[in-house]
Structure 1
């Protein structure tokens, strides 16, 4: 069990749907998303559909403002009832990762889970990578979407930034800076 920490909590849950039950699982995800959206401290959810990058699993990532609020949802009767509905819909137990703050971008399989970079190092790396990604996106796709409404431009840019940072740039930066991040 994770020790209580201040700040936001990000939970990642990977599950593989039983072949032929994908539509049922997607419906289940929609109901869980609707249920969790009413909980105190809820900050959002993202669902990654099966692809090579997710090892062909659905990955649900949700966030809460505090560990206590996340824990309250996870121990709720409502969530327990929803989890019972998964019987026969998923192949095996879910892979669950729970991190606070920026830690989810600094997860390396070869580094023990309890090893965490200092918050200062994480903030510096995320700032530098985010700056590079934002500048690159503004140069490359910025002109292509310039005529779109502001809300759509922001959605495209933020989505591209999060995806690029999560799946390409932060894993590369974390591996490249591993000694400095996890060293002393």
Structure 2
């Protein structure tokens, strides 16, 4: 995946509480949905964390990835996904909890093969402080020098827009890859 497609990728985390004794039916339906996912444009795959054997409340967590927002939305609103929801309704305790991530932690993608995917938070914060400080100092100063007649609130908006764009699509994907051994020092490789 290139930096550009990695920056555009959408990741959704779906959690469902399955009724005890209904795990096999739920897993069969889930396997069919994941197999059908390959037919959707931009589908990058899905993985599912199954509950511990004998769990009192079986909770399944699926991570679904699509190459972009349009592809994700096509899947999310598809007849196939709606049919899956109807098929599993008798087997689950409540509606699924859908969480589409676009936050800070997805700028810090773990290295390939990482088993423990939690970055060291203070290191993440330190990287962000250094990067944001540098961007504010450089871009803020450049915008102020280049556009002195533009009102300050408009210059601030332009500065923020440039900084967020650089962070999201250029700086953070690269820094994450370069600093991965430091951000994930205890990560084990599969």
Structure 2-normalised TM-score? 0.55
SS of 2:89 mapped into structure 1? coil
**Structure 2: how far apart are the matches of 1:46 and 1:36?**
12
**Structure 2: how far apart are the matches of 1:24 and 1:88?**
10
Could you tell me which residue of structure 2 aligns to residue 41 of structure 1? 42
The answer to whether the 8 Å contact 2:19/2:92 transfers is yes
The answer to whether the 8 Å contact 2:52/2:58 transfers is yes
Pairing of 1:158-169 with structure 2 (within 5 A)? 158=113, 161=114, 163-164=115-116, 166=117, 169=118
The one of 68, 71, 79 equivalent to 2:70 is: 68
Q: Give the aligned CA root-mean-square deviation in angstroms.
A: 2.8
Pairing of 1:14-33 with structure 2 (within 5 A)? 14-33=15-34
**Structure 2: how far apart are the matches of 1:182 and 1:90?**
40
- CA shift, 1:177, in A, is 3.9
CA change 1:181–1:46 in 2 (3 A) is: same
**Structure 1: how far apart are the matches of 2:128 and 2:60?**
29
Matched, 1:86 2:85: no
The answer to whether the 8 Å contact 2:15/2:97 transfers is yes
CA change 1:182–1:97 in 2 (3 A) is: farther
SS of 2:91 mapped into structure 1? coil
The answer to whether the 8 Å contact 2:18/2:58 transfers is no
**Structure 1: how far apart are the matches of 2:77 and 2:71?**
10
Gaps of 5+ in 1: 1-5, 108-121, 131-156
Could you tell me which residue of structure 2 aligns to residue 77 of structure 1? 79
**Count of matched residue pairs:** 121
Deviations 1:9-65 (A, max 9, x none): 01110111100000001001111111111100000110110149xx85111111000
CA change 1:7–1:86 in 2 (3 A) is: same
Structure 1-normalised TM-score? 0.57
